[in-house]
Chains A and B, each alone.
Chain A
Amino acid sequence: MLDWIINIAHAAISTGRDVLPILVILLGFQFLVIRKKVPNFKKIVIGFIYVLLGLTLFLVGLEQALFPLGETMATQLSDPDFLGAKGKPETLQWHDYYWVYIFAAAIGFSTTVAEPSLIAVAIKAEEISGGSISAWGLRAAVAIGVAIGVSLGAYRIVSGTPLPIYIMVGYIIVIIQTFFAAKTIIPLAYDSGGVTTSTVTVPVVAALGLGLASTVPGRSPLLDGFGLIAFASVFPIMSVLAYALIAEKMAKRVKAKKVASSLGSEA
């Protein structure tokens, strides 16, 4: 029991330290520059306390329950013993690591669905678009992007291919997609790259990268362990742009059908 209390206190202090600069900036500008009463001040303060309390509990729970498991699993899955090459890790080919790629995709998808920052942006996007972008659709699109990205990133670590090439190709695809995308989705799609990699995804994905780089023969954790976050930030942009394109096409088809059927009934 005592260690729980200590853990919560630790998390509360570190969350508080995180939020303190933001609070100072907000209050400083509110009282020195804007100098106007904030409507519903009490409600906002309570909301802030909820956010702090919520984040603290969230982080304590993750650290107690999920992070240690995620880390050991990443190491176990890439262990040569598990992969059936006991004592001869150098005989392993890139495709022997298939459980690692599946795990990377599954954990990338599921951590993204639980990511609080993404939930926040998805709520805003649904509200502003008047419901034409659904919060769930956006989150699923982003999560699929992260799943593909992290899985490919795991393959890159295993195969030892250079990171810049992947990212460059990713950028080129994003640029091409941008030309075909609706103007209203572009900023949101670009945002979704940075939003996904936050409280839940970063620790789990970083642990996966470092675990892989230290067990795969010939990789150095310092040089090859990085880069998974970069994959997880580029691929959601592509998947959201693709989601928007598909959603638009489907909406058009439904509309065309409706027009056709209404014309048919008139005739």
Chain B
Amino acid sequence: MNPGLKRFLGLFVGALRDLAPIILVIAFFQIIVLQQPFPNLDKVIPGLLFVVLGLALFIQGLEMGLFPLGETMANAFARKGSLIALLAFAFCLGFGTTVAEPALIAVAAEAAEIAAKGGQIPLTTDAQATYAFELRMVVALSVGCAIILGVYRILKGWPIQYFIIGGYILVIVITNFAPPEIVGIAYDSGGVTTSTVTVPLVTALGVGLASTIKGRNPMIDGFGLIAFASLTPMIFVLLFGMVM
């Protein structure tokens, strides 16, 4: 058999194994707990095939495209030695990938609705659209800053825990001053900002940088960029809620 095909078949089986738990959970609750027939099997079965095939292709593409590209660029930046170019790249990567994130667009729209119902902004579609747009910009800006800070930390080799613990304390303190309506959205916004394409790229960038720079350990210094990107949006959105 063609080795490429054989490899892909392996990935396909792996994807099937990854999805088995979801299928089992849904089947169990549908048939045993809710005791209802399985609806739309004509849609569910081809849909599941798509999911398995899609996951196998994604992982294949990850190892061929996203990982090598992230590492090549990290190496190129490290060898070029221009701090400003690297930090500009870090900011663009954080800002650019977040601003278009569909999950964030959805969350921002809901936040605007809450603010309008709470009387913080006028109850018009215009005011809500402006509010949602500003909120998205704030989150994207915060992720851009997070990646800058995270990359700078890798360059300096500072331990991550001081930043994250400091961030947590800041979140707890600001929560006490923020309007209660914004708290749920702010806490959720940390999780929704990192998309499936961003995570592999940012991880490859961090690990690539930590492997290229002398004296850095990829395990200790390479990871952590995503952690920054999930923490700063909480702080920025809470502040946004206080100012607006």
Chain A residues proximal to chain B, CB less than 8 Å: 4, 14, 17-22, 24-26, 28-30, 33-34, 36, 38-40, 43-66, 68-70, 73, 76-77, 82, 99, 103, 106-107, 109-111, 113-114, 116-117, 119-121, 123-125, 128-129, 163-164, 167-168, 171, 174-175, 178, 183-184, 186-188, 190-191, 193-200, 202, 222-230, 232-233
Contacts and interface: CB of A to CB of B under 8 A. Distances in A.
Given A171-B171, A223-B184, A227-B188, A38 B58 contact: no
B168 A124 contact: no
B69 interface: yes
Given A14-B102, A65-B44, A77-B33, 5 more contacts: A61-B47, A114-B18, A120-B66, A124-B204, A190-B224
B83 to A, nearest CB: 12
Contacts of B58: 50-51, 54-55, 58, 116
B190 to A, nearest CB: 6
A119 B59 contact: yes
Contacts of A82: 34
30 contacts: A21-B96, A21-B99, A21-B100, A26-B69, A33-B88, A34-B80, A39-B72, A44-B68, A47-B63, A57-B57, A58-B55, A60-B54, A61-B48, A61-B49, A61-B54, A65-B45, A66-B51, A77-B33, A82-B34, A99-B29, A99-B33, A103-B29, A120-B66, A124-B67, A186-B160, A186-B161, A191-B224, A196-B191, A224-B184, A227-B187
Interface of B: 18-19, 21-22, 24-26, 28-30, 33-34, 36, 39-40, 43-69, 72-73, 76-77, 80, 82, 85, 88-89, 92-93, 96-97, 99-103, 110, 113-114, 117, 159-161, 164-165, 168, 171-172, 175, 181, 183-185, 187-188, 190-201, 203-204, 207, 217-227, 229-230
B191 A73 contact: no
A38 B72 contact: yes
A21 B198 CA distance: 11
B191 to A, nearest CB: 4
A229 B104 CA distance: 12
Contacts of B97: 21-22, 25
A80 to B, nearest CB: 14
Contacts of A184: 217, 219-220
Contact of A190 (B24, B54, B63, B227): B227
Contacts of B49: 61
A113 B23 CA distance: 12
A62 B47 contact: yes
Contact of A29 (B46, B89, B181): B89
B57 A43 contact: no
Nearest to A196: B191
A21 B144 CA distance: 14
Nearest to B191: A197
